[in-house]
Amino acid sequence: MLELARSGLADLGAAIRLRNVWWELASEDIVDAHRKTLLGPIWPLLNFLLLVVALVLVLDNGGGGFSFAAYVASGMLVWFYISDVLSMSVTLFTREQAFIKGTVLPVSVYVLRQTLLVATRFLYALAGAVPILLFTGIEVTPALLSLLPAFAVMLLAAPATAVVLGIAGAYAPDLQFVVTNAVRLLMFVTPIFWTAGELGGIRGVLFHWNPFTHFIEIVRTPLIQGVVPLGSWAVVLTLTAFLLMGALFLLGKFKRLIVFQV
């Protein structure tokens, strides 16, 4: 197993050395996504803003000791990123089949290409979230410094998720439909625009045992409450570590076999 992890790490290292390749491919993806549109890359920002505004107008009841707009904006910011990673990862290698069959590039090139793409889309959403957060008057506290490692961990988890779901999706094509439907459901059972109240009942269960809650909380709690959620950090770091180890093992085992499955 250690040998497979080393093989996966070697593939990743080779891809990092080819950063010009996946950087250019990702840049082309970003340009192509908005080619011939009037507003271009402003569209993802508008999508984020419109959804947050709609949720706040419909669901805000004026209760609670926090700004509901800031609560929703920070929750949606992380959820947009999570949903992008999940939805795109499960079809990663099937989307890249032409390159995989026609070149000898390291498999990790396509993983890093997607990671850069979802990170860029996250920055668009962040550009929409910042004005909302500033307008709602969030307090500047030392806890805000924890946002930098929070974003770093999220960025680290993305390629690991891409490898795990990408390989699974290549061997089980039906998984893309499972993930698509799961993402839609998870948006409603994750505390993005609802609160856990007294943390009792089904909401309390969903809040504590939903792993995506903790990825949201390491961003939202410093913003809303001005504290660092150590419990959520423990969950996030543990999950990310397992994801990374699993991804390296799978990459080492399947990097030469994936071409036969796409």
d(CA 191, CA 194): 5
DSSP symbol at 256? T
Tokens found for residue 219: 């961003």
d(CA 153, CA 81): 12
Q: Which tens digit of pLDDT belongs to each residue from 142-169?
A: 989 999 999 999 999 999 999 999 999 9
**Range(s) of the domain holding residue 186:** 2-260
Rounded to the nearest 5 degrees, what angle is found at the Cα of 243, between the Cα atoms of 21 and 14? 25
Task: Give me the number of domains the chain comprises.
Answer: 1
Q: Give the chain's count of helices (H) and strands (E).
A: 12, 0
pTM for this entry: 0.90
For 77, residues 6+ apart whose C-beta sits below 8 A from its C-beta are: 48, 122, 125, 126, 129, 219
Average pLDDT, integer, range 206-226: 91
Measured in degrees and rounded to the nearest 5, phi and psi for residue 22 equal -70, -25
For 225, residues 6+ apart whose C-beta sits below 8 A from its C-beta are: 66, 143
Q: What is the pLDDT confidence band of residue 51, given thresholds at 50, 70 and 90?
A: confident
